[in-house]
Each structure stands twice: as structure tokens, then as C-alpha cells.
Amino acid sequence: MPTLQLDHAHLSRLAGNGRINATHIVSQAGGWAIQVDVDDQEHVLTAQRSGNVRLFKKLETLVSYLQALGIDHFEIDSSTWDPQQTGTYQRPDRSQALKRAHEAAAYDAWFIEQVHASRRDPSPSLDDEEVEQFFAARRAELRTQKR
């Protein structure tokens, strides 16, 4: 496996400039990876956010991706391909992110409902001056109790 990494933006620039000497699609556990030869060095495509090797579950999706970049010639290495592996590829980090998103959405809904409930509350409210006067009187009362 190559140690040099590149992301989509870098791969797109290299393909646009015609600097890619060869492209290889390599099977891995969970899908297909892209390796490119640039200046006699092998690079692997990584996901932008995680920095992990970007895997494509479907070969058709990968071919469409490469063709959109202008890469239409490549070699496929399927020596380690296992059709059972593609179904078991999971993203536990996405599960946690979705749980956090649902919790945040539930909290937002609860908070908005609390705001609406307080605005609908028929009990009398005080304006700013009345509150200041009330607490000034309360502070004065507490000071006299301490003495």
C-alpha cells in the first residue's frame, strides 16, 4: 500500500493537468480503493474529513467517479476481493454522529417548545423597571435582616 496520500481536490488537479501516469483500482476489505502513479510515486485517495483510505462499495460508482475526473483508463487488482466483505463494511463513527444529531434536534425541539410555552403563559409579567425595584427592595430587606 502506498504511503503518500491525496484528497479529491488534489487528485482532480493532477488529473486536470495530465500528471497521472497510471491509475489502479485495488480491492480491499470493505470496497475498492484508488491508487495513482505520479512522478514515479504511488498515492492513495483518502477521504477529506477522516484521512482514511476512501473506499467505494460499488465498482460502478468508482468508475463513474474516475470518468468525471477525466480518467478513463485504469487497471483493476481484484486479487484480494471478497464479495462477502462489501456487505459488512460499517461506519461506526457515522452512527455516533447521527445519534448526536438526533439528540441535538430533540433538544432544539424541546427548547423551542419551552420558549413558546413561556410566551403563552397567561401569568402577569413585569417590565424591567418593576423587576429592578422588586430586587432593590429585596436586597434592602436582606441587608436589614443581617444587622
Domains detected in the chain = 4-86 (3.30.720.210), 92-146 (no CATH)
Reported as half-sphere exposure (CB side, CA atoms, 13 A), residue 9 has a value of 2
Model pLDDT for residues 40-74, shown as the tens digit of each residue: 899 999 988 888 899 998 889 999 999 999 999 99
Please give the average per-residue pLDDT across 14-28, as a whole number.
91
Quick one: pLDDT at residue 8? 92
Q: Say whether pLDDT at 87 is over 80.
A: no
Q: Say whether pLDDT at 90 is over 70.
A: no
Phi then psi dihedrals of residue 146, to 5 deg = -70, -30
**Residue 38: pLDDT band by 50, 70, 90 thresholds?**
very high
Output the nine-digit C-alpha cell for 6.
491525496
Look at the block and give the residue holding cell 435582616: 145
The model scores a pTM over 0.85: no
Q: Say whether pLDDT at 102 is over 90.
A: yes
Query: Which letter, b or e, does each residue of 86-100 get, where b requires 16 or more Cβ atoms within 10 Å of its Cβ?
Result: beeeeeeeeeeeeee
When the pLDDT of each residue in the chain is averaged and rounded to a whole number, the result is 88
Contact 67, 74 (CB under 8 A): no
Contact 36, 43 (CB under 8 A): yes
